């Protein structure tokens, strides 16, 4: 195989990988990190490219590029319909960052546009450009993992890149027009300046996205920390109240025992049984806090159980929770407080209100599930539930906070509503 053919092969491979990076980093919603599936897809993808390189079937390159994204969408993402539509912006991103420079280079160097599809002078610059973009995208991915940054763009951010796409297209047309009216030196200066200007804007916006998300993460972490401290204060107040109730109960316990003894001596067994039953029903004796062994989880559960008891909701907790120690206390508090708040809201009007928490330690991952009874079926779309409250701006944020924590540990969660029971199950992979 000639050196030029090798350059074309690597350029085609990296061009396809760049589109895949754009898709996964910015557009794939609910990407579940199934590494084995993704590696298998990439392996088949590389095999196809090797076949293309051997047979010179260049027309298969487009088929490979177009086919790889739907395959990733089917096997590696949850929101498949949404992600299929996002293939279009992924290609626009590729056109913006890779194809445009390949048009600008012949404008500056006065080469023929036909060289874009050959193995002439554009092959090596194209390879270098694709390699640079691959390094940039890989670096972005590594930074996002280390800083726990969610890179998927929202609608306004995608619209911003579309606006830049139109701007870059206008600049490209301007370069083509001015090249015909200016002398060679001036046109080269203009072309290089315009290219540098477009590149600077793109990198500035790229950096802004990373910095803005990092700030949002810090703000969210501060809010979680504040919520954790609030829970700790509530726990201390609840503990103080419990101590006071125990003191009062201890003070009256001798009198209660004397009454029971007298009823026993006089053989008033029915009255004695009624008296003991009434005494056992006192809140302090009836309380049975769920103990997980994790201080943060126990703090939240004790507070939420007091709220559940006050409205007649039965709250139970069982399973293995030792693994919660692998999560930070603030994150544990965020998950438990938000999911229990949602469960309390959903169970309060049901026929037999209850909330159940279950934790398990599997071979390769941990799971925790929150189940609660509901009064009517909950509609779930794209693994999310729309808030039923009028103030949608400030409600329905609980699952978003939980989702941020779960993604922080490369986990995932699923929602299910079946037989009037709503269930949230979170999966945390073992390191």
Complete DSSP assignment for 350-377: SSS-EEEEEEEE-SSEEEEEEEEE-SSP
Task: Please write the tens of the pLDDT for every residue from 127-168.
Answer: 777 788 888 888 887 877 777 777 777 777 777 777 877 887
Whether 93 shows a pLDDT value over 50: the answer reads: yes
Distance CA(223)–CA(249), nearest Å, equals 39
For residue 30, what are its two tokens? 């609910």
Tokens of 143: 């930074």
Give the DSSP H/E element, type plus range, for residue 277. Answer: helix 269-280
5-35, pLDDT tens digit by residue? Answer: 677 777 777 777 888 888 887 777 767 666 7
More confidently predicted of 406 and 108:
406
pLDDT digits (tens, 9 = 90+) for 204-227: 887 887 788 778 777 777 776 777
Name the residue with higher pLDDT: 326 or 239: 326
Predicted confidence (pLDDT) per residue in 100-131, tens digit: 666 666 666 655 545 444 444 456 666 777 78
Say what the pTM is: 0.54
The full DSSP string for 318-336 is EE--GGGGGS-HHHHHHHH
* pLDDT at residue number 423: 93
Those residues with Cβ within 8 angstroms of residue 14's Cβ, 6 or more apart along the chain or in another chain: 127, 130, 131, 133, 134
pLDDT at residue 399 in the model: 83
Higher-confidence residue of 358 and 62: namely 358
* Sequence-distant (≥ 6) Cβ neighbours of residue 383 within 8 angstroms: 30, 78, 79, 413, 414, 415
Q: Give just the sign of the alpha carbon dihedral 74, 76, 82, 83.
A: negative
Decide if 429 contacts 358 (C-beta within 8 A): no
At 276, the pLDDT band (50, 70, 90 cuts) reads: low
Nearest to 315 by CA among 287, 334, 274, 277: 287
Please give the share of the chain, as a percent, with pLDDT higher than 70. 75
Query: What is the tens place of the pLDDT at every residue in 301-346?
Result: 888 888 898 899 999 888 999 899 888 888 888 899 889 989 999 8
Query: At which residue do the structure tokens 């779930």 appear?
Result: 380
Q: How does pLDDT run across 173-197, given as a tens digit for each residue?
A: 777 677 777 777 777 777 778 778 8
The whole-chain average pLDDT of the chain stands at 76
The pLDDT of residue 280? 55
Region 89-98 average pLDDT:
77
The bridge status of strand 365-373 relative to strand 354-361 is: antiparallel
Which 8-state DSSP code applies to residue 381? Answer: B
Q: Could you tell me if 197 and 190 are in contact, meaning their C-beta atoms sit under 8 angstroms apart?
A: no
Please state, as a whole number, how many other Cβ atoms lie within 10 Å of the Cβ of residue 426: 21
Output the CA torsion 283→344→415→290 (10° steps): -20
**Residue 86 reports pLDDT greater than 70:** yes
| pLDDT the model gives residue 253 | 62
Which of 37-46, 236-245, 386-395 is modeled with the greatest confidence? Answer: 37-46
Look at residue 370 and tell me whether its pLDDT is greater than 80. yes
For residue 249, what pLDDT is reported? Answer: 57
192-206, 245-259, 357-371 — which is least confidently predicted? Answer: 245-259
3-state helix, strand, coil in the chain (%, to 5): 70, 10, 20
Cβ–Cβ under 8 Å, residues 29 and 152: yes
Q: What pLDDT does residue 421 have?
A: 92
Residue 378 or residue 64, greater confidence: 378
CA distance 91 to 14: 14
CB 92 within 8 A of CB 162: yes
pLDDT at 275: 67
Residue 428 near residue 366 (C-beta atoms within 8 A):
yes
């Amino acid at each position: 195989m000639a050196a030029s053919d090798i350059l074309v092969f690597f350029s085609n491979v990296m061009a396809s990988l760049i589109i895949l990076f754009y898709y996964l980093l910015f557009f794939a919603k609910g990407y579940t990190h199934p590494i084995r599936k993704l590696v298998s897809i990439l392996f088949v993808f590389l095999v196809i490219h090797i076949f293309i390189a051997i047979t010179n079937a260049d027309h298969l390159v487009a088929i490979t590029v177009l086919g790889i994204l739907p395959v990733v969408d089917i096997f590696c993402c949850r929101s498949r319909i949404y992600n299929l539509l996002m293939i279009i912006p992924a290609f626009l991103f590729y056109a913006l960052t890779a194809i445009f420079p390949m048009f600008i280079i012949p404008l500056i160097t006065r080469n023929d546009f036909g060289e874009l599809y050959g193995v002439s002078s554009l092959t090596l610059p194209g390879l270098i450009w694709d390699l640079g973009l691959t390094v940039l995208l890989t670096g972005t991915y590594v930074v996002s993992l280390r800083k726990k940054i969610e890179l998927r763009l929202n609608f306004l951010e995608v619209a911003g890149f579309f606006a830049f796409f139109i701007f870059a297209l206008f600049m490209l047309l301007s370069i083509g027009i001015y090249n015909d009216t200016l002398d060679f030196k001036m046109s080269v200066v203009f072309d290089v300046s315009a290219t540098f200007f477009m590149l600077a804007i793109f990198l500035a916006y790229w950096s802004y996205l990373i910095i803005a998300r990092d700030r949002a993460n810090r703000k969210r972490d501060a809010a979680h920390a504040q919520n954790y401290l609030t829970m700790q204060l509530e726990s201390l107040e609840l503990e103080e109240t419990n101590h006071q109730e125990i003191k009062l109960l201890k003070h009256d316990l001798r009198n209660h025992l004397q009454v029971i003894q007298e009823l026993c001596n006089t053989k008033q067994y029915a009255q004695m049984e009624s008296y003991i039953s009434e005494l056992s029903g006192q809140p302090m004796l009836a309380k049975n806090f769920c103990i997980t062994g994790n201080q943060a989880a126990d703090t939240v559960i004790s507070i939420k159980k007091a709220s559940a008891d006050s409205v007649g909701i039965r709250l139970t907790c069982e399973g293995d929770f030792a693994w919660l120690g692998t999560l930070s206390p603030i994150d544990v508090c965020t998950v438990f407080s938000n999911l229990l708040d949602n469960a309390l809201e959903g169970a309060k009007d049901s026929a037999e209100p209850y909330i159940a928490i279950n934790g398990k330690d599997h071979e390769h991952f941990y799971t925790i599930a929150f189940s609660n009874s509901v009064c009517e079926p909950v509609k779930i779309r794209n693994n999310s539930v729309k808030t039923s409250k009028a103030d949608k701006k400030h409600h329905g944020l609980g699952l978003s906070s939980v989702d941020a924590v779960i993604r922080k540990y490369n986990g995932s969660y699923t929602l299910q509503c079946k037989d009037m029971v709503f269930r949230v199950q979170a999966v945390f992979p073992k390191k």
